[in-house]
Amino acid sequence: GGSIRAFAQQRVTQADLLAFEPVGNVTLVHVTDIHAQLMPVYFREPTVNLGVGEAKGVPPHVTGKALLDAYKVPAGSPLAYALADVDFEALAKSYGRVGGLDRVATVIEAIRAARGDRVVLLDGGDTWQNSYTSLATKGQDMVDVMALLKPDAMTAHWEFTLGEERVKEIVDKLGFPFLCQNVRESEFQDEVFKASTMIERGGVKIAVIGQALPYTPIANPRWMIPNWTFGIREKELQAEVDKARAAGAGLVVLLSHNGFDVDRKLASRVKGIDVVLTAHTHDALPAPVKVGNTLLIASGSHGKFVSRLDLDVRDGAVRDYRYRLIPVLSDVITPHAGVAATIAQHRAPHEKMLGEVVGKTATTLYRRGNFNGTFDDVICDALLAERDAEIALSPGFRWGPTLLPGQNITREDVYNATAMTYPAAYRMSMTGGRLKEILEDVADNIFNPDPYLQQGGDMVRVGGLSYTIDVSKPIGGRIGDLALVRTGKPLAADKDYTVAGWASVNEGTEGPAIWDVVFDHLKKTPTVAPTGASTVKLSGA
């Protein structure tokens, strides 16, 4: 019970969290998918994270108690709190918030102090967007704070939603390489960014190759990046690896934003990569997954973890390694003063507004999971009510922190779940047939057994609509029994329904910003209490 948890927390110190018996001559430090969270947050890991095909039932598609058991993580430990949803509310009260870039900075500084010139710090992307201040400054707050952490390289995904011009403007002044081997100019396929960089540490030449989200122009608005084309580009990646080896690289690292299952497949097909630092799917695993000789690392999201991977690299091969997924418990790790000051400076003009209480939640608000999270339910309710719709659709983003039962909802909390550059809450009519087609299409984007055919986030969230999904079926056969929750009536394929949604990838989508829709809704119903009861009936998992 509770007393054991309290005791456990009392004992955990910064030294415990950072304890590491060093090995070898290189230390890779990986942070990823921070989603512009400068400040500590709560973050509840998913209950449902289904794998399909070869990924069925294997990490990272293991959650909750099964995940803790698989890695022998003691119940109630700091790592258990960070990795799983088991006992989440109680452990959150006991251990407190996670992340905060000033804490992340302390962890990195401590690793550098211990490992000197052996350390390489790599940022997997999804760094510059999805908070109020990152939206207001077009990513500048994140750029300035990350600069203090002195990364050696980064790659990207949500960064591209700032548009070509802004991305180029930032990259020009970044001071470290922005690596994307798979981003090309549309016309003649010229490189837009550097594909790779060679870093020498501990006497080892380390090639770092960057891989942006291959499906950025599908998952996000293509019109924001009209002159760039993406894709996995396996062949070009193999050529880049071979080039790095020929240039004397003793260690080849793929700084990837492919998503875990894509990386698992890629690691079995592209030869000569020692380490893949994965991202995008927000998985956190306490040990590397091995594919052949390649180590796959999953470092979580929202600043909740820092990954440390020590490697003994000799004669162009990894002889030994040791890994630790370090949970960044905000109350345990001392904030880095310099980084904290820069964060405060960026927040100062907005602090008062961001702290305004706009509501209260009686239950845990979270998003992460394959289907609706409770925060999505609040957003869908707001869309249904404020846009006077029968059905609401909300994107299956993996970002967005958690609120605990009884917590006030501030403006910042709403922005943390909605802040992005195409927020218009549209209202339109769609036939029942069209709705099924959309659900089938999105479902195939996460449940296609071939990871190279998975391109998006989690399943689109729905409000006012119930349906069944058999994830084991092919496209066209997964979704059934669509019905309006309000009336219980089945949807007619040729009848029109009023649908409200947000985050359309279409240019020129009109409507109020989604955060304003949520603010308006909370004004009328300030206390929310979503139960997490699902209108989706799942099978075939």
Partner 1 sequence: AVAVLSLGGVGPAFAKNDSDELIKAFTGGKAPVKGKIKLDLPDIAENGNTVPLAFTVESPMTEASHVTDVLIVAEGNPRGGLATFHFSPRSGVAEAATRIRLAETQNVIAIAKMNDGSLFTDTRQVKVTIGGCGG
Element (H, E) at 264: helix 260-269
Any contact of residue 127 with partner 1 (CB under 8 A)?
Answer: no
- The CB-of-230 to partner 1 minimum distance in angstroms stands at 6
Any contact of residue 230 with partner 1 (CB under 8 A)?
Answer: yes
Using only C-alpha atoms, what is the Rg of the chain? 22
Query: Which 433-452 residues touch partner 1, going by CB under 8 A?
Result: 437-438, 441-442, 444-445, 450, 452
The answer to whether 115 touches 27, Cβ cutoff 8 Å, is: yes
Q: Name the H helices within 74-174.
A: 78-83, 88-95, 101-115, 132-136, 140-149, 164-172
Q: Which does 229 bind (CB under 5 to 8 A by kind): Mn ion, partner 1, none?
A: partner 1
Chain-centre distance for alpha carbon 50: 16
Report which of 228, 241, 300, 245 is spatially closest to residue 267, judged by C-alpha positions: 241
Residue number, 126 or 376, with CB nearest to Mn ion: 126
Any contact of residue 128 with partner 1 (CB under 8 A)?
Answer: no
Pick from 5, 103, 118, 157 the residue near Mn ion by CB under 5 A: 157
Size of the site for partner 1 (CB under 8 A): 47
Q: Which does 231 bind (CB under 5 to 8 A by kind): partner 1, Mn ion, none?
A: partner 1
Binding flags for partner 1, 233-272, as an x/- string (CB under 8 A): --------------------------x-------------
Pick from 103, 280, 304, 436 the residue near partner 1 by CB under 8 A: 280
Element (H, E) at 25: none
Q: Which CA distances in Å does 11 have to 77, 92, 107, 329, 474?
A: 11, 16, 18, 13, 50
Residue number, 244 or 419, with CB nearest to partner 1: 419
Pick from 8, 27, 28, 33 the residue near Mn ion by CB under 5 A: 33
Q: Which CA distances in Å does 459 have to 38, 61, 93, 342, 453?
A: 27, 15, 30, 37, 15
Q: Which does 220 bind (CB under 5 to 8 A by kind): Mn ion, partner 1, none?
A: partner 1
Any contact of residue 265 with Mn ion (CB under 5 A)?
Answer: no
Residue number, 296 or 503, with CB nearest to partner 1: 503
Which distant-in-sequence residues (6+ apart) come within 8 Å of 1 by Cβ?
none
Judged by CB under 5 A, the stretch of 51-59, 272-280, 428-436, 501-509 that binds Mn ion is 272-280
Judged by CB under 5 A, the stretch of 123-131, 165-173, 227-235, 307-315 that binds Mn ion is 123-131
Q: What angle do CA 456, 104, 14 make, to 5 degrees?
A: 130
Q: Quick one: CA torsion of 330, 332, 333, 338, rounded to 10 degrees? A: 70
Query: Which 170-189 residues touch partner 1, going by CB under 8 A?
Result: 186
67 Rama sector, left if φ>0, alpha if ψ -120 to 50, beta otherwise: alpha
Chain-centre distance for alpha carbon 64: 18
The answer to whether 245 touches 289, Cβ cutoff 8 Å, is: no
Report which of 289, 292, 233 is spatially closest to residue 258, judged by C-alpha positions: 233
Size of the site for Mn ion (CB under 5 A): 4
Report which of 322, 327, 310 is spatially closest to residue 14, judged by C-alpha positions: 327
Any contact of residue 371 with partner 1 (CB under 8 A)?
Answer: no
Query: Which 478-537 residues touch partner 1, going by CB under 8 A?
Result: 501-506
Give the residues lining the site for partner 1 (CB under 8 A).
157-158, 186, 213, 215-220, 222, 229-232, 259, 280-282, 393-399, 437-438, 441-442, 444-445, 450, 452-453, 455-458, 460, 475, 501-506
Q: Which residues lie near Mn ion (CB under 5 A)?
A: 33, 126, 157, 280
